[in-house]
Structure 1
């Protein structure tokens, strides 16, 4: 073999290595440029650097102060007192200034303007869990989808579902009565025995309740059954037995999603193929759960679509009242180009289940917790409910579900208690938006900038494209400027004479309460959630008395969940003492 035949492959190899080296150098140079621009150049031109806010080191963040419900109320109060209602804080460092405001005018502009969207990272996480549902959509896609969905959540459509609310509330009531009569009943399928509990924050003078239940877990099972039937006419039977495959798939997936994503999860947002080659246990469970849900969902959608088309062909009245049937009906009546595919319908199914089960169950559980801490309010509400005698014992010869629903919905103190609970314990602690272009945000409260410039009421502050705006849902619900000096206290009577600032409608029917957000991305199912919570409380309270079993705190994952103080390692739970009510 001559030298020439040996040298040719060697030269090719050297050339390839040289080319790779050049590519690597270019990538390295680009990375250095990107980092230098992000850390040094871009912050020089960020208008938020001139807005007052807490100081921090170059890579320090303020996420815990802003997003942890254990400290965020004090943080908002302190920062507002120091910097005014509108300020900036550090995201991932001093280069990442973010805007936060307790000025309702600022938040109204951000939530109503098409300039601001959910960040792609948030939409990616939601899409991975729920598919391309209404919560993960933006722009024209979101508008089109919302138009299809809204008829399913009209007042008439929601009231048609109330027999299901009553059915599952009564089933839960009967199970609790069985547990009280026989605490060792095998029907008690809670997650093992509760560990020893620390003393409660409040101890009643004359204890009435003796048995302890995990209220949040039981109510979650009930609301899962509700959304299964009301949403898709699907029986999970989770109150009776937590073994149904689709139920378990959703539960496993949501439990994993509730955990912080960690460093690997954040990296996967930017390198999505990483999870394909290096899947962890959480990813394997999520994918397995999604396959189970997909298979069941496809069968369900095909079955309902076939039935609806057959009834339309025979000119019969379509009797289905569940949300999925109404959505399919609305979809089929739309222009062909704007119709959703079966895969897109399945994504909405998962979205409804997540939003319609856990968020409502948390609202009901927090309501029982607050009533356990306020025995006078509990007794007053019980008396109001029992003034409607059918509420204490609904029988076949009693009023219709619809008339009983109207009576419950009209109870003023029940309405006030549920709204006050949703104000103090919103299932979603906060959300986030990103500016898609440079913008000017109007303010209603003066802002003194770092350079001494005063931004007066009605004037604007600039924000650049790519800047993040945090929406403090709980913070606005706790604002004394909106709700009065007792804003952080449980006071249902405030709803009979709201301050002027709180009467400014953020969302039809709920005044300035931010719990359901407002604007184009407001929760479409707010009527569903309110009415379900009222019916559950009206069904349970005449039969039981509730007392605190431990000091309960909040923790923020995807939703704001309860845990026992000093027992965070046992996970989310809400132990409450329960006893039978005797007049």
Structure 2
């Protein structure tokens, strides 16, 4: 028997035994049938055009905790139950730790930034960053947001001219890594960085190579900007409206045990410039697409924005209830990041707000979760939970935010996310630190663009949204995974 064949034959019994033992704890949990022995349900979960619907259908059919199959059909959990999510994100975040594949992906892309670290390092970084994202500081940034939005408005005006023009609104690449994410922990064990780099360069996938080039350019530019800001700080110059300048100054004034290394600071810059920008721009793109589909909502927003001619600032934005309602509903129904990932570091038990029916026909009120279990946080499913939001939970209806929300939404404040009773920005110590930043940015951009332009769909071009690390727009029928969202843009008279 050839050596390789002998090794494979020797390994098969151990693989089978591992798979059987892994399945035993989840035997009474319901879930969709596995698609393949090797990948389980993973490809269904991340299927470009159908992944979102599959995620919602599974939640509606099986409830708030679902058994799905991962690599080699190993059981994993897909969780949307509010109490279970509170337990994962708030009560026991060290037991339900960030998924290794996710932190490794972020580390490879952005360095040692906030989204790539865990434990004490993450706590120390977040403590340093928290003041930068406080409402008090963000209020002072509104004029800077407006200045940048005005530049975008001027660029669009040049493109549009006097006649309506078809313009591609957005583009992103990071989402293509989603199907490969489970294998990334293996990549970092291949050896030194130079070898891993060589492996990535050999991958015959054009989009991966494009992403590699983007990361290379980003890293080089971050290094240049970082050194420039360090020089300005040493010279006594610091702009209080520049988040990185404020961070560098705060880091300089911190104790040795709390301050960040240059590598960590570069990671924060890359995270803010690339990751945070991608998520917010994706949310703005989704909103523009929705407004193109719902011209009556667009018209009402325009009326609200033009009825008040006060100077645009934080207070002005806060006094526009319909704009706020539209943004909240968009972030609820269409979260840019549909899922997040955790893995248990110890045995745990998940309590359920809404009992689920077991395979044996009895109700389950808590779920035992063994150490090493992959847990998929179903952000999308939680935001669409009918037991919380009502039977119209999956409908995009901004009006729901202009009336009192149902008690099923408001009465359980202790199990809600950090933003508007939804999970879009998660909850607990690893909730999105920039959720207020994102809202202000969205409001400023939409306010600026809608006062100058009208957006509509391009006849004959249907836009779909692909599932991935981020939801990204594509042209239906184009067989392309590149982001592409053409809209018809015309100047307002």
Using structure 1 for the length normalisation, give the TM-score: 0.75
Cα pair 1:169 1:536 within 8 Å, conserved:
yes
Other structure's SS at 1:48 match: coil
Q: CA separation of 1:414/1:329 partners in 2, compared to 1, >3 Å: closer, same or farther?
A: same
Question: Aligned in 2, Cα 1:173/1:268: closer, same or farther, shift over 3 Å?
Answer: same
Is residue 2:331 matched to residue 1:422? yes
Deviations 1:458-512 (A, max 9, x none): xx2211001111111112122222222222222101112222233344334x222
Q: Distance in 1 between matches of 2:294 and 2:353?
A: 36
Aligned runs of 1:88-487 on 2, under 5 Å?
Answer: 88-94=67-73, 96-112=74-90, 113=92, 114-181=94-161, 210-217=164-171, 254=173, 260-261=179-180, 268-272=187-191, 275-278=196-199, 279-280=201-202, 292-311=217-236, 318-390=238-310, 399=311, 404-456=313-365, 460-487=366-393
CA contact (8 A) 2:175 2:470 kept: no
CA contact (8 A) 1:478 1:488 kept: yes
Residue 272 and residue 382 in structure 1: after superposition, are their counterparts in 2 closer, same or farther (change >3 A)? Answer: farther
Corresponding position of 1:565:
476
Shift of 1:438: 0.2
User: Would the aligned equivalents of 2:239 and 2:245 in 1 still touch at CA under 8 Å?
Assistant: no
Name the count of aligned residue pairs: 476
Q: Quick one: distance in 2 between partners of 1:291 and 1:446?
A: 48
State the Cα deviation string for residues 349-383 of structure 1 (Å, max 9, x = none): 11111233111111111111111111111111110
Which of 5, 9, 32 in structure 2 is aligned with 1:54? Answer: 32
**In structure 1, what is the Cα distance between the partners aligned to 2:232 and 2:57?**
58
Do 1:298 and 1:342's aligned partners in 2 also have CA atoms closer than 8 Å?
A: no
Gaps of 5+ in 2: none
Would the alpha carbon gap of residues 30 and 41 (structure 1) be closer, same or farther in structure 2, given more than 3 Å must change?
A: farther
How far does the alpha carbon of each residue in 1:297-319 deviate from its partner, in whole angstroms, 9 at most, with x for none?
Answer: 334333323433443xxxxx954
Select between 82-91 and 446-455 the one with higher mean Cα deviation.
446-455
Higher mean Cα deviation, 531-540 or 275-284?
A: 275-284
Q: Encode CA deviations 1:389-439: one digit per residue, 9 max, x unaligned.
A: 25xxxxxxxx4x5xx331122210000011111112211111111111000
Q: Distance in 2 between the 1:134 and 1:474 partners?
A: 23
Moved more, 513-522 or 278-287: 278-287
Contact 1:61 / 1:90 at 8 angstroms: preserved in 2?
yes
Deviation for aligned residue 1:178: 2.4
Shift of 1:518: 1.4
Q: Greater relative contact order: 1 or 2 (C-alpha under 8 angstroms, separation 6 or more)?
A: 2
- Distance (Å, rounded) in 2 between the aligned partners of 1:38 and 1:451: 24
Deviation at 1:81, TM superposition (A): 4.8
Shift of 1:265: 6.2
- The answer as to whether partners of 2:463 and 2:476 remain within 8 angstroms in 1 is yes
Shift of 1:532: 0.8
Q: Secondary structure at the match of 2:353?
A: coil
Secondary structure of the structure 1 residue equivalent to 2:474 = strand
Q: Following the alignment from structure 1 to structure 2, what is the Cα–Cα distance between the partners of residues 540 and 293?
A: 28
CA distance in 2, matches of 1:167, 1:573: 26
Secondary structure at 2:335 match in 1: coil
For residue 161 of structure 1, report the CA deviation from its aligned partner: 1.9
1:543–1:581 contact (8 Å) kept in structure 2: yes
CA distance in 2, matches of 1:547, 1:259: 31
Q: Tell me how large the CA RMSD over aligned residues is.
A: 3.0
Match of 1:515 in 2: 424
Alignment CA distance shift 1:422-1:265 (3 Å):
same
**SS state at 1:165 partner:** helix
- Kept after mapping to 2: 8 A contact 1:152/1:326: yes
**Offset at 1:115?**
0.5
Cα distance in 2 for residues equivalent to 1:256 and 1:65: 16
- Aligned pair 1:63/2:42, yes or no? yes
Q: Distance in 2 between matches of 1:511 and 1:255?
A: 27
What's the secondary structure of 2:27's corresponding residue? helix
**1:262–1:362 distance in 2 versus 1, CA, 3 Å:** closer
Q: What TM-score do you get using the length of structure 2 for normalisation?
A: 0.87
Pick closer, same or farther for the CA change 1:263–1:538 going to 2, 3 Å: closer
CA distance in 1, matches of 2:217, 2:58: 47
Cα contact 2:144–2:241 (8 A) shared by 1: no
Give the secondary structure class of the aligned counterpart of 1:534.
Answer: helix
Per-residue displacement from partner, 1:114-158 (whole Å, max 9, x unpaired)?
211122222111111111111111111111111011111111221
Q: Which of 553, 557, 562 is residue 464 of structure 2 equivalent to?
A: 553
